[in-house]
Amino acid sequence: MLKHEDNERVTRVSKGTPMGDLFRRYWQPAILSGELPEKDGPPVRVRLLGENLLAFRDTDGEVGLVDALCPHRRAAMFFGRNEECGIRCAYHGWKFDRHGNCTDMPSEPVGTPLQAKVKIKAYPTVEKGGVVWTYMGPKEQQPAPPDYEWLRAPAKNRFVSKTWEDCNWLQAMEGGLDTAHSSFVHNEFIGNSNSLRNQDRSPSIEVERTDYGYYYVSTRRLLDGSNFVRLYHYVMPNQQMRSGTVKFLKGAGDEDPHAVPKIDGHLWVPVDDEHTFVYNWTCAVGDEGFPEGYVDRWESFMGRGKEDLIPGTYQLKRNLSNDYMIDRELQRTKTYSGIKGLNTQDYALQEGMGPIVDRSEEFLGTSDRAIVAMRRMLIEATKTVENGGRAPAAEPEAYRTIRPVDRILPGDVAWKDAFKSEMVARW
């Protein structure tokens, strides 16, 4: 459990809150590159850490991320013209470049000194791995650009999507870090002992702190005496990396969505206190990249394929307003949740808690070890920043060489030995 004040500390993300200020020490995804496909194309509204912003791709192909409202009389920049390396407010024509400088003020006399004085709030951006990243914190604390292994993967090996979630970022991320739940809510094979997650439903969990956060290892003892071991990374403040090389179902064929060896992960990016964009990245680890059509199959299996989204949005059609289209007959007979789509199942549980869960009311068990460790680290980190210190793991050297691992190991092989060379980035 968390005391009310600590719960507030780690969930609220606006500027000036402890967690909001911690988040503002890390590069965060602002938008997918694909949302701004062309130079001088239509701008896109962005809400991030409780701030309303506008993203546009300028004539040079660089992405600007500026205040959603014009500094003149606060008109919406969304209606502006994206032209000649700047966005021009449609109201009186003031124009701003991606750095926030006012480059034209046609409604004022020529040579007006006002032009040099007026700026629009602008955040730096960098584009990597199909994502536009931004840094919203103090200039002197700005880390080097993000450099996770998946950002260095060849484009043919990588896919990134994003999904909207109607709840606070932390309960969403806790769902990701919680490995025990996959034996339950994600159990699609009730009563089938070929399912590895059915063979042991209370994995043992070890947590090792590192420079970037921690890695944690879940071990499930299988019926034949071997161990199903998954090593995940928690990268501060809001990313998890996992490995997917072991099929859910022993003996399953290539139609199993887990048949393609991959690493994947999520970043839980706060839109504001009560909404989250989950960035989902997946990388095929083999040289050949993804097989034809695989990415669509995988995204559908996860419940976030194109057909699963409300057109023109990143919101799921199966959502709280329709109880995720739960099928009680399916739940009674075949699957634990009765809900289609692996991540949709997650959202039902996470959003069902309400916008910000009250952690003072919970009872934690041994399966929650990784979650407890993460909360502690976040509380510590917010205090470090409050006291004028540097945010942990903001610089890439903390995390650039890590890779998650999962394997089935013989019962007498220690994962530490088996994984030593596997835990290292190849790209």
- Contacting positions for ligand FES (CB under 6 A): 70, 72-73, 75, 89, 91-92, 94
The one of Fe ion, ligand FES, none whose footprint includes residue 346, by CB under 5 to 8 A per kind, is Fe ion
Strands (E), 73-184: 81-82, 87-88, 95-96, 102-104, 122-123, 125-128, 131-134, 158-165
CB of 294 to Fe ion, least distance (A): 21
The separation between CA 310 and the C-alpha centre of its own chain, rounded to angstroms, equals: 20
Total number of residues that touch Fe ion (CB under 5 A): 1
Q: How far apart are CA 58 and CA 70, in angstroms?
A: 17
CA 81, 84, 85, 91 torsion-angle sign: negative
Q: How far apart are CA 389 and CA 18, in angstroms?
A: 13
Q: Does 264 bind Fe ion (CB under 5 A)?
A: no
Whether the CB-CB separation of 398 and 209 falls below 8 Å is answered with: no
For Fe ion, the closer of residues 166 and 346 by Cβ is 346
CB of 102 to ligand FES, least distance (A): 10
For ligand FES, the closer of residues 75 and 425 by Cβ is 75
For ligand FES, the closer of residues 1 and 76 by Cβ is 76
Rounded to 5°, angle at Cα 217 from 211 and 221:
170
As beta bridge partners, residue 264 has: 242, 282
Give CB contacts under 8 A, 24+ apart, made by 214-220: 214/370, 214/373, 214/374, 214/377, 215/402, 215/404, 215/423, 216/177, 216/179, 216/369, 216/370, 216/373, 217/415, 218/179, 218/180, 219/415, 220/196
For Fe ion, the closer of residues 121 and 258 by Cβ is 258
For Fe ion, the closer of residues 299 and 346 by Cβ is 346
Radius of gyration of the chain (CA): 23
CB of 178 to Fe ion, least distance (A): 7
Q: Does 149 bind Fe ion (CB under 5 A)?
A: no
User: Cis link prior to 270 (omega < 30° from 0)?
Assistant: no
The one of Fe ion, ligand FES, none whose footprint includes residue 314, by CB under 5 to 8 A per kind, is none
The one of Fe ion, ligand FES, none whose footprint includes residue 89, by CB under 5 to 8 A per kind, is ligand FES
Q: How far apart are CA 13 and CA 288, in angstroms?
A: 41
How many residues are there in the chain?
A: 427
User: Which residue, judged by CB position, is nearest to Fe ion in the bound state?
Assistant: 346
For ligand FES, the closer of residues 94 and 169 by Cβ is 94
CB of 89 to ligand FES, least distance (A): 3
Q: What is the DSSP letter of 140?
A: G
For Fe ion, the closer of residues 264 and 346 by Cβ is 346
The one of ligand FES, Fe ion, none whose footprint includes residue 326, by CB under 5 to 8 A per kind, is none
The one of Fe ion, ligand FES, none whose footprint includes residue 70, by CB under 5 to 8 A per kind, is ligand FES
Backbone φ and ψ of 161, nearest 5°: -130, 175
CB of 275 to ligand FES, least distance (A): 27
Q: How far apart are CA 164 and CA 317, in angstroms?
A: 11
The one of Fe ion, ligand FES, none whose footprint includes residue 91, by CB under 5 to 8 A per kind, is ligand FES
Q: Does 346 bind Fe ion (CB under 5 A)?
A: yes
CB of 101 to ligand FES, least distance (A): 15
Token pair recorded at residue 61: 């192909």
Per CB under 5 A, the segment of 88-96, 296-304, 341-349, 359-367 that binds Fe ion is 341-349
CB of 304 to ligand FES, least distance (A): 37
For ligand FES, the closer of residues 73 and 383 by Cβ is 73
CB of 79 to ligand FES, least distance (A): 10
For ligand FES, the closer of residues 94 and 277 by Cβ is 94
Whether the CB-CB separation of 228 and 405 falls below 8 Å is answered with: no
Q: How far is CA 171 from CA 122, 176, 177, 290, 395, in A?
A: 30, 9, 10, 31, 25
Per CB under 5 A, the segment of 39-47, 324-332, 338-346, 355-363 that binds Fe ion is 338-346
Which residues of this protein are in contact with Fe ion, per CB under 5 A? 346
